A and B are shown apart, each in its own frame.
Chain A
Amino acid sequence: MSKEHDKGMSLIVKVITRLTVGLILLFGIYIVLHGHVSPGGGFAGGVIIALSFVHLMLAYGKDVALKKLPKTAMSFFESMGAILFLSIALLGFTGGYFFLNFISKGEPFRLFSAGTIPLSNIAISLKVGAGLFAIFVVLVLLKFEWEKKE
């Protein structure tokens, strides 16, 4: 168990992971950015982004994955997503009330439309992706007392 955490899985898994992990990350970003046009949105896209890092960690071990997304970056993204979402809500006061959609709506069915909704999606995806990957890392690397002695 601990050997797999350090060194990762076999060569076949590593090669396949090198080919697919970027595509999974891109698909997550696509789901986030098109959340107001097609099904998806910030939460699902954020979980897919977290899954791409989980994939990297399962195949290559914890060192490679934590080098790509260190602990400090995780806590930064997690807090920054929450603050960004709250500040988008608070910026609505410039026009009147909390959560006002204050940017111009644009043309429907376009990528740049719907005012603050894509910005909120990006904030939520940062929060969800960093937070769920942090939970995964902590739970997988958890060691109990009797395991440490061996």
Chain B
Amino acid sequence: MIELYVLLIFMIIGAIIAIEMKDILSSVIAVGAVGLGLSIALLILKAPDVAITQLVVEILCLIILIRATLKKDLPFSTTGRWLLNTLIAAGFIMVFLFVAIKAFKDLPEFGYPIMRVADTYLKEGLVKTGASNFVASVILDFRAYDTLGEATVLFTAVIGVLAIIRRIGRKKKDEVVEEDDE
């Protein structure tokens, strides 16, 4: 258990460094370190499927962050209302802590989950679906509705990004834009 706490502290330090750095490249690398720590933490918690997905998605996000945002002069919004912003953030943190302390009391202890439905899946999953990877048998057979919804969310996200970023969507009024092979 001690290695999990070491990883958590490492991730918190990485997140603080990512916020406080003035150089954007350094803070992007710190975000990558946080993601790598999360992937190793998932491996320690014995969830290799989620660890693989986390690692791979983290790499893609880092490449997109470095290549797409780093050398562009992105406009930064620097408003002077830092007192109001700090007060709102502190208020939300207080509300979240209050609700979390109330809610975490009712959760089962770490490592002793309530196995009402999952027990059936573990016993009958191999016979009913024939898949030896139980994660696959749950997300693509027992709980396939969830996966259909997730696929729909990703499809909508891709369509949304393509629709917002294409040239013709960003033109000004009375400006004629021919769509070239961008």
Contact = CB atoms under 8 A, between A and B. Distances in A.
Interface string A111-150: 0011111001100100110011011101111111011000
Given A101-B141, A108-B132, A39 B49 contact: yes
A50 interface: yes
B162 A115 contact: no
B151 A44 contact: no
A94 B148 CA distance: 19
B3 to A, nearest CB: 20
A88 B152 CA distance: 15
Given A36-B131, A37-B133, A134 B162 contact: yes
A140 B60 contact: no
A41 B72 contact: no
Interface in A77-132: 78, 81-82, 85-86, 89, 98-99, 101, 105-109, 113-117, 120-121, 124, 127-128, 131-132
B68 A140 contact: yes
B60 A139 contact: no
A127 B139 contact: no
Nearest to A144: B72
Given A39-B49, A43-B53, A117-B141, A105 B154 contact: no
B102 interface: no
Interface residues of A, number: 57
B45 interface: no
Contacts of B64: 135-136, 139-140
A35 interface: yes
A134 B157 CA distance: 11
Contact of B56 (A47, A58, A71, A108): A47
Given A41-B135, A106-B130, A89 B144 contact: yes
Q: How large is the interface on B (under 10, 10 to 19, 20 to 34, 35 or more residues)?
A: 35 or more
B55 to A, nearest CB: 8
Interface string B67-101: 11001110000000000000000000000000000
A43 B153 CA distance: 13
Contacts of B63: 51, 54, 58, 136
A146 B73 contact: yes
Contact of B154 (A35, A39, A115, A131): A131
Contacts of A36: 131-133, 136-137, 140
A147 B72 contact: yes
A135 B164 CA distance: 11
Contacts of B53: 41, 43-44, 47
Interface of A: 1, 31, 35-44, 47-48, 50-51, 54, 58, 71, 78, 81-82, 85-86, 89, 98-99, 101, 105-109, 113-117, 120-121, 124, 127-128, 131-132, 134-136, 138-144, 146-147
Given A114-B132, A147-B73, 5 more contacts: A50-B60, A51-B63, A115-B130, A132-B60, A138-B161
Interface of B: 48-49, 52-53, 56-57, 59-60, 63-64, 67-68, 71-73, 126, 128-133, 135-137, 139-141, 144-145, 147-148, 151-152, 154-155, 157-158, 161-162, 165-166, 181-182
